[in-house]
Amino acid sequence: MSKKILLVEDEKKHVAILKGYLEQAGFSVVTASDGQNALTQFRHTKPALVLLDLNLPGMDGLDVCRALRKESSVPIIMVTARIEETDRLIGLELGADDYITKPFSPREVVARVRAVLRRTEGQTTSETLTGGDLSIDLAKHSLQVGERVVDLTPTEFDLLVVMMREPGRAFTRLQLLDQVQGDAFEGYERTIDAHIKNLRQKIEPDPKVPRYILTVFGIGYKFAEDV
């Protein structure tokens, strides 16, 4: 059964091009031209991934992203003509997994979609990772903090797995980008800061005084030893 993509875009030309390329790549595509319709379509169709333009009429893409994250950890790729770093960071801090800037190549969009979905579905091992009150089941792609099940986006999940596999190792931001996003991502280092901030909000007893994900000043981040 083909994976369903929700394409949220108000420019008809872009909708036609992206829909054609995604369908040719084997995906099923549902479209929405504004924010409210996007939320309705999402709830009715339950897509595997949302391709979300930020510049929408009425309810903009950041508001849609915020609303989606309140009810789902579905992968979200932002599509934006906004070149300011602040705009991209806001989207990532709201829980988006990736972003693509306009103008873009439709083939690049398809590659990004495939890359994010591979990360979502790629864990087939029965391995379990533990540290303190954290327990990750890789086969189920799930995280438990104490007795609480915590929903993570694909990027947040992969970041945590990478660091938990090597407690105490200091990773640079570029190393984490490469481990998590790979060649399909036009990353910049502050992307990692946004995802780490989200992770700490979800797993730390006190995000302002982290117990698990520690900052290594001048380098990057590490998962604490002996937690």
Domain of 184: which CATH number?
1.10.10.10
Domain match, 117 and 8 both: yes
Q: Does some domain include residue 61? A: yes
Q: Which residue range forms the structural domain that includes residue 180?
A: 152-223
Dihedral angle computed from the Cα positions of residues 53, 56, 61 and 67, in that order, rounded to the nearest 10 degrees: -130
User: Could you tell me the CA-to-CA distances from 14 to 31, 36, 55 in Å, in that order?
Assistant: 11, 19, 13
Residue 47 domain flag? yes
Asked whether residue 184 carries a pLDDT value surpassing 50, the answer given is no
On the question of pLDDT at 125 being above 80, the answer is no
CATH number of the domain enclosing 74: 3.40.50.2300
Q: Mean pLDDT throughout 38-48?
A: 94
Is residue 106 within 8 A of residue 19, CB to CB? The reply is: no
The pLDDT score that the predictor gives to residue 99 is 84
Q: Are residues 169 and 101 in the same domain?
A: no
Looking at the fold, whether 158 and 103 belong to one and the same domain comes out as no
User: Which of 25-29, 86-90, 127-131, 151-155 has the weakest average pLDDT?
Assistant: 86-90
Tell me the per-residue pLDDT of 158-180, one tens digit each, with 9 for 90 and over: 899 999 999 999 999 888 887 77
Q: Hey, what amino acid is at 79?
A: V
pLDDT of residue 27: 95
Q: Which of 101, 121, 141 delimits the end of a domain?
A: 121
**What DSSP designation does 3 have?**
P
Q: Are residues 114 and 216 in the same domain?
A: no
Whether the per-residue pLDDT at 145 is higher than 90: the answer is yes
Q: In terms of domains, do 13 and 76 share one?
A: yes
Structural domain count, the chain: 2
| Prediction pTM value | 0.71
Tell whether 138 is covered by a domain: no
pLDDT at 76: 93
* Residues 94 and 27 reside in one and the same domain: yes
**Residues 18 and 106 occupy one common structural domain:** yes
Provide mean pLDDT across the span 104-116. 88
Residue where one domain finishes, among candidates 81, 102, 121:
121
Mean pLDDT over 134-141 rounds to 88
- Which residues have a Cβ under 8 Å from the Cβ of 43 and sit 6 or more positions away? none
Same-domain status, 109 and 171: no
One domain for residues 114 and 167: no
